[in-house]
């Protein structure tokens, strides 16, 4: 059915290739970059989703600690008694690693 319009097949193929390239350029122009995601995830996600994600990311402020004093952070309830964050990452603030000073992780198991 590709040749029902009377054109030679090589011309039809060139036209199809040109349309495909133009379509890819349009997609590329409308792509919103949202950070360090891999190309496969980005291709599977629509422009609208990427745009919403980017807008939401810019809207929310970065989570910064009010102080770097360990004692006051423990009083505020941000850190537990061993120095681990109570919410979010299971990371120790004092040692800056995933284990505390005794070599035990967040759950109290040796690593």
Q: Is residue 3 part of a domain?
A: no
Q: How far is CA 70 from the centre of its chain?
A: 30
Listed residues 59, 79, 97: the one ending a domain: 59
- Per-residue pLDDT band for 99 (boundaries 50, 70, 90) equals very high
Residue 49: what pLDDT? Answer: 81
Q: Examine the pLDDT at 95 and tell me if it is beyond 60.
A: yes
Q: What is the pTM of this model?
A: 0.43
Q: Is residue 2 part of a domain?
A: no
Question: What is the extent of the structural domain holding 30?
Answer: 9-59
Q: Examine the pLDDT at 16 and tell me if it is beyond 80.
A: yes
Q: Is residue 93 part of a domain?
A: yes
Alpha-carbon distance of 73 to 107, in angstroms, equals 20
Residues 6+ apart with CB under 8 A from 12: 2, 3
H/E element holding 63? none
pLDDT over 70, % of the chain:
79
**Which spans in 30-102 are helix H?**
39-44, 47-59, 70-76
Helix (H, G, I), strand (E, B) or coil at 102: coil
Q: Count how many domains the chain has.
A: 2
């Amino acid at each position: 059915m590709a040749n029902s319009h009377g054109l030679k097949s090589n011309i039809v193929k060139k036209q199809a290739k040109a349309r495909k390239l133009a379509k890819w350029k349009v997609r590329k122009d409308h792509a919103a970059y949202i950070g360090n995601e891999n190309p496969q995830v980005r291709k599977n996600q629509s422009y609208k989703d990427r745009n919403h994600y980017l807008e939401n990311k810019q809207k929310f402020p970065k989570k910064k600690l009010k102080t770097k004093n360990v004692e006051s952070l423990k009083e505020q309830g941000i850190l537990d008694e061993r120095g681990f964050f109570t919410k979010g990452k299971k990371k120790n603030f004092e040692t800056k690693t995933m284990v505390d000073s005794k070599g035990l992780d967040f759950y109290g198991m040796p690593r």
